Amino acid sequence: MTQAVRTPPPRSARRDLTARQAIIASCVAMTAIVLLDLVDGQLDLLYSVGFVLIAVTAPMSVGTRHLFATGVLAPILMIASLLAVILVDPTVIRVEGMDADAGTFARLIAGTLDHGMTLFVGGGLALAVIALRLAADRGRPARR
């Protein structure tokens, strides 16, 4: 009986993250961005830019088999980060026309609507990256 000889992977072999690793890395990065942006007491440009960069980076870091999870990550990450901020300090979410004594759910909706363009851009770019990755992967032979 002969033994199969394993050849080491080429030096240029890709080391893609799994969906779980990408989600954990995205959550850690989003937490760091929120904490940095809350130094001045409100969510501003840093939150928006960081969110878009995370939403775009996640689908680039995983293998094509794990793209679905990164495709739905953007809205979940936005809502989860806003909810965490609201639970810690509700006064951070400041939207014009919102009552000062608005509840958690009202603040979550207002914060999501206030950052709607950020969500649209981040989610749209993430889906565009996914589409490009799938299109580029069609021509390659299947890997095991």
Per-residue pLDDT of the chain (144 residues; tens, 9 = 90+): 566 666 655 554 568 899 999 999 999 999 999 999 999 888 889 999 999 999 999 999 999 889 999 999 999 999 999 999 999 988 888 888 888 788 889 899 988 999 999 999 999 999 999 999 999 888 666 555
What is the three-class DSSP state of 39?
A: helix
Domain that holds residue 117: 19-138
Closest CA to 134 of 41, 55, 89, 70: 70
User: 125 lies in a domain?
Assistant: yes
Quote the number of domains for the chain.
1
One-letter amino acid for residue 12 of the chain: S
Specify if 127 maps to a domain: yes
Is 6 domain-assigned? no
In a domain, 12, yes or no: no
Q: Within a domain: residue 7? A: no
Q: Across the chain, which distance is largest between two alpha carbons, in Å?
A: 78
For residues 49 and 40, the answer to whether their CB atoms sit within 8 Å is: no
Q: What is the pLDDT of residue 142?
A: 59
**Phi, then psi, of 14 in degrees rounded to 5:** -80, 145
Whether residue 105 is contained in a domain is answered as: yes
pTM beyond 0.75: yes
Describe the crossing of helices 104-114 and 73-88 by its angle, rounded to 10 degrees.
130
